[in-house]
Amino acid sequence: MLQGESGTGKGLVARAIHEESERADKAFVPITCSAVPDNLLESELFGHEPGAFTDARKRKMGLLEAADGGTLFLDEIGDMPPGLQAKLLGVLEERRFRRVGGLKEIEVDVRVISATHRDLETMVKEGRFRADLLYRLRVIPIHIPPLRDRPDDIPVLAQHFVTELAAGWGRPTMRVADAALAALRSRNWPGNVRELRNALERAVILASGDELDAGALGVEAAAARGTGVVALPPEGVVVDDIVDGLVRAALDRTHDNQSAAARLLGLSRDQLRYRMQKMGLLSRAGAAP
């Protein structure tokens, strides 16, 4: 069972577990329990026979059958309705099930990985989740920390996503500049890995070159918005690199308008020009007052 905040990459971890296992040559079958209406989730998981319900005109294989020999990934397991929880427990215990409307028992050999951002123990106390199912699913519990607690992962994730996204958008190979990585590491990332990926996808789409600098990622990527707090990585940061990145980002965003850039950074124009002088940017082409 994978537990952690929304967006921490539980799906990535589940797929990695599958791909590094002896079941890697078999199917990895994911389903998000919260994305399927309760009245259809049972049919999605177990399949159905013709005539089992209105519109069930032909036999349908369920995801449990599709995952035979491989891995079934049940994301947002905390949203599974109580009646279906009991049926899933039976499958985990007996390794067999019947399709909806069927009589024949079907045996399966499936690894089940479940994931949730919910507090299932509290849900058990409230009667919203079965205790026996929780114990059966949580044989190997894995807690995935939020991204703000593992800043060392950000450079690796960032470059991985940029490489993947550049290929997907038909862009040349791209890299993330060191100053941009420092800006990314300073962010709190309340949306976790999902938010990081979205920010990088936007930057890849809009980038004009093959390197993403702090300006391409925007000022928001470098500061914890609205809190006035910057997360400090365990190994520390070079403050000048972060400040330089913010100055470049502000100038890029305002098309080199120094007064507007200073307002974005909460500086006077003279303070901004002093910083630009230290960075050798006063001669920046087209710099506007």
Q: What is the CATH number of the domain that holds 113?
A: 3.40.50.300
The pTM of the full predicted model, rounded to 2 decimals, is: 0.69
How far is 73 from 70, CA to CA, in rounded Å? 10
- 81 and 140 co-located in one domain: yes
User: Judging by beta carbons within 10 Å of its beta carbon (0-12, 13-18, 19+), is residue 277 exposed, middle or buried?
Assistant: exposed
* Average confidence (pLDDT) over 239-244: 77
- 90 and 104 co-located in one domain: yes
Q: Which residue has the tokens 């800006």?
A: 183
Q: Nearest 5°: CA angle at 196, between 160 and 255?
A: 105
* Average confidence (pLDDT) over 34-38: 90
Asked whether residue 258 is domain-assigned, the answer is no
pLDDT at 244 over 90: no
- 98 and 169 co-located in one domain: no
- List the structure tokens of 72: 């079934």
Most confident of 97-101, 144-148, 179-183: 144-148
pLDDT at 230 over 60: no
**Residue 178: which residues within 8 A CB-CB, separation 6 or more?**
241
- 96 and 173 co-located in one domain: no
Span 98-112, pLDDT tens digits: 888 888 899 999 999
Q: Are 45 and 63 in contact (CB under 8 A)?
A: yes
pLDDT at position 216 is 73
- 35 and 136 co-located in one domain: yes
pLDDT at position 132 is 96
**Residue 78: which residues within 8 A CB-CB, separation 6 or more?**
33, 116, 117, 118, 120, 123, 129
* Average confidence (pLDDT) over 183-189: 84
Domain-ending residue, one of 115, 144, 173: 144
Asked whether residue 64 is domain-assigned, the answer is yes
Domain-ending residue, one of 114, 144, 174: 144
**Residue 170: which residues within 8 A CB-CB, separation 6 or more?**
none
Domain-ending residue, one of 144, 175, 192: 144
Asked whether residue 188 is domain-assigned, the answer is yes
* CATH number of the structural domain spanning residue 249: 1.10.8.60
Query: Number of folded domains in the chain?
Result: 2
Q: Are 262 and 271 in contact (CB under 8 A)?
A: yes
- 78 and 212 co-located in one domain: no
- List the structure tokens of 91: 């499958």
Which range marks the domain in which residue 39 is found? 2-144
